[in-house]
Each structure stands twice: as structure tokens, then as C-alpha cells.
Amino acid sequence: AFELTDAALCAPAPVSSIPTLSLEPTFRRSHGSLYKALARGQVDAGAMRELLVRHRPRKWPLVFAVDASTWARCDAETSPERGFYYSASKHSAGKPIVAGWSYSWITGLDWAHDSWTAPMDARRIPPRADAVDVTATQVRDLVGRLGDTESPPLFCFDAGYDAIALTDTLSDVAADIVVRIRDDRVFYTDATPPAAGTVGRPRRHGDRFRLADPNTWPTPDVESTTTDLRYGTVKVSAWHGLHPRLGCRGHWAEHDIPPIVAGTLIRVEVEHLPKPTSATKKTLWLWAAGPGFNLDTCWRGYLRRFDIEHTF
């Protein structure tokens, strides 16, 4: 099994068939051993995950990127649990989808300006599974393997994830999350308690906070300004205790009354971008939640999140 892995890694071209791997110099056995390795070989996934955590770079921060990557299996029509997933680079029948297997990855990040990451876990998402539940279970398990840490680990998600559902599902986990959100969303402050003698059901939502309308923004709870070599002057503002208005559908379909899920909104405005284009915005909105909120770590961690693309 080890030689089969070495042969796959050392092959000079994409592997088109299993027997051709027996021709690689690193595979020193007969081609029949290839099939025996696949039929009898096993991988202890739990032991592998423990091994990755034990050898995590200790000088790196407790900041992790989470994202999904699809292994395209367009021609493998009999592959078990093959599904259709979004793809930015491949199209099928004119649609940005690809048939294959989707994997959820978690990788450790560093502050250094390079593309090195430390993969911590990879787990396949079956087509019928709830992506939020699979991802939340993956994060919860990794936090347990990390054990006691000086500060809660931070997990960074891109805009494709449901920030509110993740916040609710991971509310019992000692970890922070930061998720990118669209700039057209609307949130609310806590409702003002009704005056004595007020008749009727009390309000559940307070004032509107519309990301696209600065007139609806109250004074930020936290502000900071710093200088970055790649982005110039970076101004960061944060508002605590905001929540969206939820409906009884999707993740909340089984709720008679959707809950109030509060978090922190972060607005990041940079002076310039490393590679500016006319279509790139200079303002970034993030949703953050967790027991160990740190404004500087949240926005810096999200910008480092893109290193996971090099891992893929």
C-alpha cells in the first residue's frame, strides 16, 4: 500500500489506470499486488487525524481555514454517492457544476506571507448530508483533539457557508468562527423592552442595521486602524450583539419560532489591494462569533484563509 501511494505521487502524468502504476520505479512488486493493496489495505483515519494534530507546527497560531473541494468524477457514473457540486472552473451543460465527490477540509494557517498550510482533517460530504452538520461535527472533533489551548481556536469560512447556522450549531464548542457575508444583508439590534402596560406581543427585533446603508449604522463598539504591507492603511470596525431575522425554513424548518442568534459584524476597509482590479471591492464584511473574540485576529485570519486554495 505504501509503494502504491509512492507510485501515484511519483507518476509524471495523471494516473489513467491502476496497472500502469506498477511500471513506476518506486513500485517494486508485481501488478497483482496493486489490487491486493486496494482490496486488503486499510487506512486508520482516526489515527491519521491524531497524528496530524500532534505534529501541528507549534509556533503557528490557532487559526484554521475551512472549505470544501470537489474531486471531479465526471465519467465515473457508477461511483457510489457521486453528487453534483458547484465548480468555478468546470461546466456541465452550460452550468457551473461538476459531478464528483465533495470533501470538507480544515487546514492550519500561519501569518507568514507564503502558501504553506498544515492540513488537519479532510472528510467527505455525502450528497444527502447536511453540509452545516458535517462541517460543525468536523470542527467540534478537531477542537476536542486539540485539547486545552491558551485561547479558543479560530475557524475561517468563506461566503458559501451559512454563518448563522454555524453559530447556532457550534454554540457549545469552545471555538471562534469568522465568516464572510454579503454586503446586501440586513441585521437588527436587540429589541427595546416594552414599557409598562404595553398591550400585545413584544418586539423580537430592534433597529435595522443594513450593511449597504451607512445611515443605519450606530457608533461601532470597537474600532482599530493599522498599517499592513500588502493592504496599506486598514480600518476595522465592529458592532456586537446583532442578529438577522430568520424564517422557519432550511436549517430552521423544525423550529416553531426561529431563535435569536447574535454575533459580531466586522467591517474591513483597506487602502489598496495587492492586485487591484476594477471589479474588486475594497470593503469586506465579516460575521464573527465565539467566546474569545479578537478583532485583529478575525480579519487577519480571514485574509490568510485563501492559502487553503494552494492546498487544493
Contact 287, 183 (CB under 8 A): no
pLDDT per position as a tens digit, 172-198: 999 999 999 999 999 999 988 877 777
Mean pLDDT value across the chain: 91
Q: What is the pLDDT of residue 134?
A: 94
Residue 39 confidence (pLDDT) above 70: yes
Q: What is the pLDDT of residue 201?
A: 79
User: In the predicted model, what is the mean pLDDT of residues 238-255?
Assistant: 92
203 vs 57, higher pLDDT: 57
231 vs 61, higher pLDDT: 61
Angstrom CA distances, 207 to 200, 245, 281, stand at: 19, 12, 27
One DSSP character per residue, 138-202 reads HHHHHHHHH-S-SS--EEEE-TTS-HHHHHHHTTTSS-EEEEE--TT-EEEPPPPPPPTT--SPP
Q: What is the pLDDT of residue 278?
A: 63
Band of the pLDDT at 56, cuts 50, 70, 90?
very high
pLDDT per position as a tens digit, 76-99: 888 888 998 888 777 777 888 889
Q: What is the pLDDT of residue 30?
A: 86
Residue 264 confidence (pLDDT) above 90: yes
Q: What is the pLDDT of residue 42?
A: 87
User: In the predicted model, what is the mean pLDDT of residues 9-25?
Assistant: 88
Q: Report the percent of the chain where pLDDT is more than 70.
A: 99
Reference 66, options 140, 145, 153, 158; nearest CA is 158
Contact 265, 309 (CB under 8 A): no
Tell me which DSSP letter residue 287 carries: E
Neighbouring residues of 258: CB distance < 8 A, sequence distance ≥ 6: 246, 247, 248, 252
Q: What is the pLDDT of residue 125?
A: 92
Residue 275 confidence (pLDDT) above 80: no
pLDDT per position as a tens digit, 283-304: 899 999 999 889 999 999 999 9
Band of the pLDDT at 246, cuts 50, 70, 90?
very high
Q: What is the pLDDT of residue 225?
A: 94
Residue 263 confidence (pLDDT) above 90: yes
User: In the predicted model, what is the mean pLDDT of residues 140-162?
Assistant: 95
User: In the predicted model, what is the mean pLDDT of residues 160-174?
Assistant: 95
Cα(215)–Cα(42) distance, integer angstroms: 59
